[in-house]
A and B are shown apart, each in its own frame.
Chain A
Amino acid sequence: MTAKTVHKNLGLSEISWRSSLGVTKTVLIARFKIVLRYKGAIVFDMILPVILAALPILLGVAIAGQAAAQNFEDATGTENYKLYMLIGASTFIVVTLMLWLVGYWIRREMETGTLESVYASPAKRVEVLSGVTLYALIRSLMAFAFAMVVGSFIFQVDLFQGEMALALAFVVIGIIPLWGISFAFGALILKVKEADSLIQVMQWVVAFFMGIFFPITVFPPFLRYVALSFPPTWMTNGVRASLLDVAYFFGTWYLDLAVLLAFAAVLPLVGYTVFLRTERRIKKNEGVGQF
């Protein structure tokens, strides 16, 4: 009782779930306050998938003319190539923003010299990182939803065909492993530091392996296995298969969803562990402030 009184008199607050949530909420609000100063960035995130989807659509029409739909159906199983590309590009923005925003946050804090201050505060790392990843999640989902709606108007495609609820389930569950991947990516940025190059390359690596413009069946076997070990590939294909006549990897939606759930159960823990280990090693050596 005495200890508690002394504790309170010193102005220290106890660490409770509420204070933990407070940290996450504060980080989240801070991120949004900063980005809202650059409204164009948010708009750009939302338009980018539409632009990305437009490129292969225009390319395909230029190549195949009126046979575009037929040829595309022969290759992928659906003739609705516009929605196929739109789904690919929209899920890509979710993945890339999750990586970009987390990676760039760490890099910026390093460059501006505030990462050490964050470490010096009593807030737990997981709370701060949750705030940042939650911010990335909200921003990426906003971009996803906006791009799908605007893209459906521009490309004149019907979003509400197939199993919309199932498609949303693939998106929601597919985001959980992304959380883990973004932690691991953050660890990589801490270690390598050259965030710009890494992020730029990772964007295209991700886009390539998750098959934003084509089915991964066109890959040779080795690349196909690499693509299948990457959760966003399952998310993209799941959404496509739910809305279009594209096959699930395992033939049925529940098996594909089960794989995604397995990723969701494992990857966040793995990612966070990797982050903590990397961070500990860096703190022991050069310190997190070095950039």
Chain B
Amino acid sequence: MSKKTIVEFSRYPLSFGAIFLQIFLMVLMFMFAVFAFSSPTQALDSFEDASLSGWAEDPLSHVGEGEFYRVLTGPYGDEPSMVTFLNLTDPAHSYGVEKNPEGVSDWSAFKQIQIGLYSSSGTTADVSIQLKGDSGENGTWWESDIVGFGGGQDTLVFNITDFGGENSTLESVDSLSIRFQNADNGTIVYVTQIDMVLTPQGARLAGVMMYGFVIFIFLSFILWEVGFSIREEQFRGTLESLYLSPANKFSNLISRVFAIFMWITVIASIALVVVSNIAGGLPLNNVALAFLILFLTVSGILGMAFFVAGLTIRIKESAALLVNFLQFFFMIFCAAFFPFRALPSVVVDYVSRWIPVSYGVDAFRSVLIGLPEGYPELLPFEAEMVVVVLFGILSPLLGYLYYRHSEKKARIQGTLGEY
């Protein structure tokens, strides 16, 4: 039966592409929506406010308001040339951290710094940036890896990989310095742009969204595949013939999801890689435990799909409507694309907490983002695991029992083949 569904599935290559494209477009759409709500880059463009110091101060001149800085490169004694932007945390300035959505000086929110450089003389240089803070020990700082500047016009991207993490002692930032090494002496490079790429609370929210999305696409496609394939058999008149065969009913049901299950796994992995690249990396912790939770949650979802299959036998054409409704119901109330705290508390307390899938979604993404403070949101992690395990074991059993009940009833009433 699995073979049959796989062969059937592969006979429609358009379906493969359609599913992939559909999921890809969904991800893109929500990502663009996210961009509309966040300030993805915060430009340090109010140059009239910038205080400057450092070795490159003398040869550096301000060329027009809000335009760019000129840096004379080359070693100054034993030190490379450097330009420093001071007072970044001063609320009087229009740049810096005061626009952080959380309203706190959380520099870990910045995942990337982009520096635009221009050199008409074709000067090349090895460029790095330093962030300095006043907290902790005197002189605490974070330095980026060196990025090569090949002359002309270029935007150098510095990923802030460990800043704000375990390896960093820096809690706030006062100044940003750009260091030029191995540059020709006395040539001019213009700093045309300094953008702090803001991803609120780091990649955490991207993780919450994407990992919730993974559970959602499994849920959506499994419900459609199991529930709707029964409907299709009814529609084509082959459901009764299937019942005449000696095949095991459970295998008959479960075999329907194999093809789609494999394909969804591939697509979900690709989607995660793509988004991870766009978002500058998704948090990825406790992978083995996350897989266990995913397995149990998918098992529970299979049980729900059996239930839907049982209902399909009874409600027939309305099954499509039911599955459609369930998809969106779970999407909203299981907070597939956002944290539960985005929902009104009354909805969380009276709806979300009563849906076992919510705990699967919550536990799965919380584990993957490293169980930070505030996650999981519904229950303590251990308690959520209990719910997830019970859901994974009991749901297929109960779902299958319901399916058999519906099937038996339909056979007694002689409505199995009716559509």
Contact = CB atoms under 8 A, between A and B. Distances in A.
Contacts of B101: 63-67, 71
Interface residues of A, number: 44
B15 interface: yes
B184 to A, nearest CB: 35
Contacts of B21: 201, 204-205
A62 B324 contact: no
Interface string A183-227: 000000000101011101101110110001111001000000000
Given A58-B338, A60-B37, A205-B25, A213 B15 contact: no
B36 A60 contact: yes
Interface SS of chain A: helix
Nearest to B208: A62
A75 B36 contact: yes
Interface stretch (B46-54, B64-72, B295-303, B325-333): B325-333
Given A58-B343, A62-B341, A72 B36 contact: yes
A74 B200 contact: no
B37 A38 contact: no
Interface in B31-56: 32-39
B237 to A, nearest CB: 12
A63 B205 contact: yes
Nearest to B325: A44
B35 A214 contact: yes
Nearest to B201: A63
B332 A51 contact: yes
Interface in A66-101: 66-68, 71-72, 74-76, 81
B391 interface: no
Task: With a 10 A CB-CB cut-off, give which of A48, A56, A76, A215 has the most chain B CB atoms.
Answer: A56
Given A59-B338, A62-B341, A214-B32, A201 B18 contact: yes
A55 interface: yes
Contacts of B390: none
A63 B34 contact: yes
Interface string B90-107: 000000000101110000
A194 B38 contact: no
Contact of B33 (A41, A60, A194, A196): A60
Contact of A55 (B19, B28, B35, B332): B332
Nearest to A57: B342
A150 interface: no
B142 interface: no
Given A38-B318, A207-B29, A218-B36, A63 B200 contact: yes
A74 B39 contact: yes
Contacts of B342: 58-59, 61-62
A259 to B, nearest CB: 23
Contacts of A197: 12, 14-15, 17-19
Contacts of A66: 101, 103
CB-based closest 5 A-B pairs: A197-B18, A62-B342, A60-B37, A213-B33, A204-B25
Given A59-B37, A63-B200, 10 more contacts: A41-B321, A51-B328, A56-B30, A59-B337, A59-B338, A71-B36, A76-B36, A197-B18, A201-B22, A213-B29
